[in-house]
Each structure stands twice: as C-alpha cells, then as structure tokens.
Amino acid sequence: MDFSLLLVLAVALSGVIYLLDVWLLKPKRRQRFAAAEANTQEGLDPVTSEKLLKEPWPVDYARSFFPVLLVVLVVRSFIIEPFQIPSGSMRPTLEVGDFILVNKFAYGLRLPVVNTRFLEVDDPERGDVMVFRFPNEPSVNFIKRVVGMPGDRIRYEGKQLYVNGEPVAKELIEDGPDGSPQQLLLEERLGDAEHFIYNNPRDPGPQMREVEVPEGHYFMMGDNRDHSNDSRYWGFVPEENIVGRAFAVWMHWDGGLPSFTSVRHIE
C-alpha cells in the first residue's frame, strides 16, 4: 500500500469537500437561515438556528482534517520523512528497530507519488546513507550506502571494495565485537564519510567483477557487507528512485518499550 498516494488522495478529497462547502453549500445554508428568519416575527429558536446552519458531517470532518493532512503531506514530501529499519543489512550503522529521519530536501524537491524532481538542490555523494525505491519493486523502500557515483568503476573481491581501481581504505577495529561475535568490525572511508562496516571472515560472501555505473544511476551497498541485498545482486539505482538522505536515528523500538538512548547522527 502506497502511503504517499493515500495521503495525496485524502488531502485532495478533504480539500474539494471543504472548498465545495465554502463556495456553494455554506452560502445556501445562510440563505435558508435568512429566509426562515424573515418568515417569523419572534426570531428563530436556538435549536432551529443550529439545525439550519449546521455543517453536514462530511464537511465537518473535511474542515477539521484538511489543514492537518496538508501539513503532514508537505512535511513528509518535502522536508522530513520517518522510516523504520526492518533488516540488519546496514549494521553496525543502523540496527533492526531503529527509527530514522530522512532529509527529503537534500537531493532536491520531488512530487509525491510520481517522485519526479522539480527543484534541484544537490546530488548524492559517495558515502551518503540514502533511502530509495527498490528498482525491482518501486513500492518498497530500501536503505543503503552510496558507493558508486555515475561514471565510477566498482569492484568487490576478497571482501575488498575497489572504486576506480583503487582499494577503499579500511582499518580493523575489533575482532568479534559485542552482539556479533563472528564478525570483524572495521572502519571504512568512502569520500569524506568515515563509518563502520562488518565483514565475516568465515563467510566467502559475494564477489563482483568490475562494473561501470551508468549516468543517472548509483551503486549501493549495505554496511553489513556479507548480509546485504544490494547493487551487487540487482544492479544500479536510477536517480528517479531516490527518496532522500538518512541523517539521524531518533528512536529504537524492537517490540518492548521504545528507547531514546540510541539517538544519534548517521555517519
């Protein structure tokens, strides 16, 4: 179910009902009230007055919900949108149950539902954590790290990432960190972004010969390198599928009580 489409339809429907009342229904109610008041010398009693001027229930709901829905649509479409992390493909950067905030303005303003960019602001940079529509199923949102820019040559062999023929620098931080005893915790540098990744030395993981990123596309990888369904399997992300840049974790909830101790900036 496309929540953006439902929200747009709700705003449109409530807005049409509200405007229809302002331009047509409300003047007619006042006319009926004035005519009834003119036909009585004693004036209308409060019950009758209220009945004649009362808004129909669809108008009452539309008038109440339209401004709220409009604000939600504007904020969610053009400023910030919340998401929940459903899988461990971005560990250790993002854990299952993290609630994140995505900057919808960072890569330009896009029309809701169709996702067409109508105002250019900036383009993704190597190392950004980006939310995008999965190319094979656009109704599903994915989150990965931008590894390859348009024109880059990307290769992944022996758990080493290569960009334009150069190995991406990484440093071992810990062997068997808490919560992931079979993993190696490494710090990697992609562009200006320094972040942690997981590698499992006992898992051969995917291998990928060199590919070139087409214009208008991006190569995405998860930080949990041996457990991530990413561009190594299904290819490139077109520019029109971009949703926004993830920049903060504001809550963690794994089924128990929500926790705010994990609030942090996303590197």
Q: How far apart are CA 4 and CA 16, in angstroms?
A: 18
Residue 160's region, left for phi above 0, alpha for psi from -120 to 50, else beta, is beta
255 burial via Cβ count (<10 Å: 0-12, 13-18, 19+): exposed
Are the C-beta atoms of residues 5 and 113 closer than 8 Å to each other? yes
Active site residues: 89, 144
Peptide bond connecting 92 to the previous residue in cis, omega within 30 degrees of 0: yes
Of the CA atoms within 13 Å of residue 118, those in its CB half-sphere come to: 7
φ, ψ dihedrals at 169, nearest 5°? -65, 135
DSSP 169: P
H helices present in 81-139, as ranges:
none
* Strands of the 153-157 sheet, one edge to the other: 166-167, 160-163, 153-157, 208-212
Two tokens at 244?
Answer: 């926004």
Q: How far apart are CA 79 and CA 103, in angstroms?
A: 6
Render the burial of 201-224: b for 16+ CB within 10 Å, e for the rest: eeeebeebeebebeeebbbbbbbb
